[in-house]
Structure 1
Amino acid sequence: MGTPRIALLIETSRGYGRELLRGVVRYARLHGPWGFYVTPGDFLQAVPRMKSWGGTGIIARVETPAVARAILASGLPTIALGLSDEQLRPESPLSRLSEVVSDSHGAGRMAAEHLLERGFRHYAYVGSRGRVWSGRRLDGFRSRLRETGFEPHVYAQPRPRRAAADWEREQPALAAWLAGLPRPAGVMACNDDRGREVLVACLHAGLKVPEEVAVVGVDDDELLCELADPPLSSVVLNAEAGGYRAAALLDRMMRGDCSEPQRLLVEPLHVHARRSTDIVALDDPEVAAALHFIHDHAAGPIAVPDVVEQVVISRRALEQRFRKATGRTVHDEIRRVRLERACRLLIETDLPVARVADASGFGRVSYLAQSFRQAFGVTPARYRRRLRDGVPDPPDRP
């Protein structure tokens, strides 16, 4: 087979799309060379003339019937991105394509957990009309909140008229809706674009962020999040590894080694906390003080007695009030925060596992490994290979 030539119909204007592309390029550098067709832009893309171009494979977001027809007519190995429920129906020919899809339900649950940890009693969701992943993120957000007895307020987006005027027309409606929420409220936006719009609407409504409304988005588009006012917290998706796995699957398909449709899931990793959710909204000041201390010092050698020293009540009283407010013990919260930090260090750095154990507060590698097996069923090294490097675990030795 000659040099593979791949059409990438992926939105370059979004952080999620760019991370997927980065993973595809990383695979091509290691296993190529590959040639690419890519056009900068948003969700709407066009399929090139694959025969005259010499295309051998496609990775695409199928946004329109025209794109679907062109892909199916090409007969080339294709991996679709995030097919809709309608496209996945058995009678649809698109349902027979392999697919890369973000775990939107899991992202919604993770955003809910992030806000629950901050002690809110009121929650809300702002989505995007017509986006299947937005609905799935709402389902995950709502399901996690219902487990703890909460029900989110859900924003009803006005129907669009003219694309250029949509946000200008919607902004006062969203601002009024946010102003009518009980406060303080934890708000999930379906992605970072929507999160930025929520922050702008809060400004126009005179709402303080995060004191009155805390906001978390999805995708962790770093530039978009850092330019927001205040900087936007966001769920990080494992998109680069997803792109790498998609390229590996397409490579097998082009070689004829894989004929059955596959479904690759892009997992949520953690929440990149920024100023938009930097608050503890608990009514109990002692529990709030304990949480602040744990979050600020869990990377050091702290234990439950160190937390108790920060409050003016007994250990027994703190444990009872802490469990009532958070659903966890003080020790469990220290371990949870340390695990979250260790996960980020494993994915985002090349630090040896021993250094990760020390930097996340576990101290000993054996304690870190034990905690990882209990929480995730794998060792720290396997967790890193699976989620950062996008490669499957090697088979266990007999």
Structure 2
Amino acid sequence: MPIIGISLRFQDSFDSQVARGIIEYAKAKNDWSLRGSGGGLRPLKYTGRDRCDAVIARIESAQDADRYASLGIPVVDIAGAHTRHEIHRVQNDDFATGRRAGEYLRRLGARSFAYCGVQKVHWSRQRLLGFTEAAGISVDTMPRFERSLPWWQQSTPSPALRSWLRQLPEPTAIFCCNDIAGVKAIAHASDIALDIPSRLTLLGVDDEDLLCTLCNPSLSSVRLDCATIGFRGAALIDTMLESAPMRIPNQPHIVLVPPQEVVERESTTVVLEKDPVVAQAVRYIRTNFSKAITVEDVVHHCSVSRRNLEIRFKQARGMTIHAEIAQMRLIQACKLLKQTDLTIETIASECAFPNVQRFHVLFKRAFGSTPGNWRLR
């Protein structure tokens, strides 16, 4: 009976959800024995092949990466902080996470951006690169505040972080590499009376619900698909155990799991457009896109001429009012396709598309796939 080690800390929902995915896969394997470091699992011993036939681990230090690389058994890392050619990785797509954050903040109207990250780790760097690409800024010019992960986890006040926050232009949208950094940045901004979200808009990663909602104001966050990371990590272990030549790889197998949606809370409940009329229009669209609103409804709400609003809207947002309404509906449709088993027809209706045929046309134009095939992928 293969013994599969699970080396997780179980100190946050990331580990718990990853473990849930591993267990879901293992239930179909009658000959697997799981040995782990939390919950109802037995303590994991790091003595190599005599204790485990394979390991799924959250590797967050260079020392741990070296130790796991020396075990001589299949190892799958689910963190992506430190890379070794002996260690396979099934992890969140961190570049796509950063890109999603940048796209979301740009839709709010952000034009000034900054990044809070963890220094010298692969996943934080990838999130930064994706963020800068979506924001249209070079990495070298992006204002950054980077410290070690233990530094972010400390509750000690930081004059350096306060000083950095003061120097940012107003308003600035800050992407924080995880919720821990986001909560700490919010606390320091509050200490120096920087209003959130009007002067600073903050977005984290992980959607640690308790952590995000307990801080004041609550923190918006990019949700990750942790259960799928665990499930696919276990599937990769299964493949390696059936293929002995894969035990010591020349090249590691790397599986990237796309992030999920942005969970909105108080830290991003603002439209950052400088033109007040455009901001008013965007707020109206965000509030009412799931109704059968038209461009005329938006114009009427803003009490300006249609031509005036359309010119100002296109200059500020880079798209027409009609395109903005369609984009919001498509974003909502993607959420429903991912998170529910509603029919395509019901989703089209819920998102206020005039008919299912129009929904198909717009969806395929935006994503290169029909809604049904996109859901299957």
Same fold (TM over 0.5): yes
- CA–CA distance in 1 between the matches of 2:269 and 2:319? 20
Instruction: Indicate if the aligned counterparts of 1:220 and 1:237 stay in contact, CA closer than 8 A.
Output: yes
* 1:189 correspondence with 2:176: yes
User: Residues 256 and 276 of structure 1: is their aligned pair in 2 closer, same or farther, counting only changes over 3 Å?
Assistant: same
2:109 maps to 1:119: yes
Q: 1:209 Cα deviation (Å)?
A: 1.0
Q: Give the corresponding residue for 2:263.
A: 272
Per the alignment, residue 241 of structure 1 pairs with 228
1:49 matched residue in structure 2: 47
Query: In structure 1, what residue type is equivalent to 2:304?
Result: I
Deviation at 1:203, TM superposition (A): 1.2
CA shift in 2, pair 1:140/1:130, >3 Å: same
Alignment partner, residue 396 of structure 1 = none
User: Could you tell me how far apart the structure 1 residues matched to 2:244 and 2:373 are?
Assistant: 26
Instruction: Structure 2 unaligned segments of length 5 or more: list them.
Output: none
| Alpha-carbon offset, residue 175 of structure 1 | 1.9
For residue 214 of structure 1, report the CA deviation from its aligned partner. 0.9
Deviates more, 1:270-279 or 1:62-71: 62-71
Contact map agreement 2:153 2:180 (CA 8 A) in 1: no
**2:326 is matched with which residue?**
335
Aligned residue number for residue 14 of structure 2: 16
Displacement of 1:142 in angstroms is 1.9
2:317 pairs with 1:355: no
Alpha-carbon distance in 2 for matches of 1:156, 1:254: 39
8 A Cα contact 1:13 1:40, kept in partner: no
Count of aligned pairs between the two proteins: 370
Q: Does 1:345 find its partner at 2:336? A: yes
Query: Quick one: which amino acid aligns to residue 340 of structure 2?
Result: T
Q: What runs of 5+ residues in structure 1 fail to find an aligned partner?
A: 88-93, 387-398
Once the two structures are superposed, what CA deviation does each residue of 1:21-56 show, in whole Å capped at 9, x if it has no partner?
222222223444643222249xxx975335454x33
Structure-1 separation of matches of 2:126 and 2:80: 12
Pair 1:252 & 2:239 matched: yes
Of residues 358, 379, 382 in structure 1, which corresponds to 2:370? 379
C-alpha displacement of 1:191: 0.5
2: distance between equivalents of 1:63 and 1:165?
A: 14
CA gap 1:379/1:31 in 2 versus in 1, 3 angstroms: farther
Q: Which of these residues, 296, 299, 308, is aligned with residue 305 of structure 1?
A: 296
Whether the 8 Å contact between 1:101 and 1:265 is mirrored in structure 2 is: yes
Code of the aligned partner of 1:26: E
Task: Specify whether residues 164 and 213 from structure 1 end up closer, same or farther in structure 2 by C-alpha distance, changes over 3 A only.
Answer: closer
Deviations 1:304-336 (A, max 9, x none): 222222112222222221111111111111111
Of 24, 37, 57, 2:35 maps to 37
2:274 paired residue number: 283
Equivalences for residues 174-213 of structure 1 within 5 A:
174-213=161-200
Structure 1 counterpart SS, 2:194: coil
Residue type at the aligned position of 1:48: Y
Cα distance, 1:290–1:242 mapped onto 2, change above 3 Å: same
Question: 1:168: how far off?
Answer: 4.8
Whole-angstrom distance in 2 between the partners of 1:368 and 1:206 = 45
73 and 180 in structure 1: CA distance in 2 versus 1, 3 angstrom threshold: closer
SS of the residue corresponding to residue 309 of structure 1 reads helix
Q: Which moved more, 1:163-172 or 1:212-221?
A: 163-172
Q: Partners in 1 of 2:160 and 2:356 — Cα distance?
A: 52
2:206 is equivalent to residue 219 of structure 1: yes
CA distance in 2, matches of 1:342, 1:287: 24
**TM-score between both structures, scaled by the size of structure 1:** 0.83
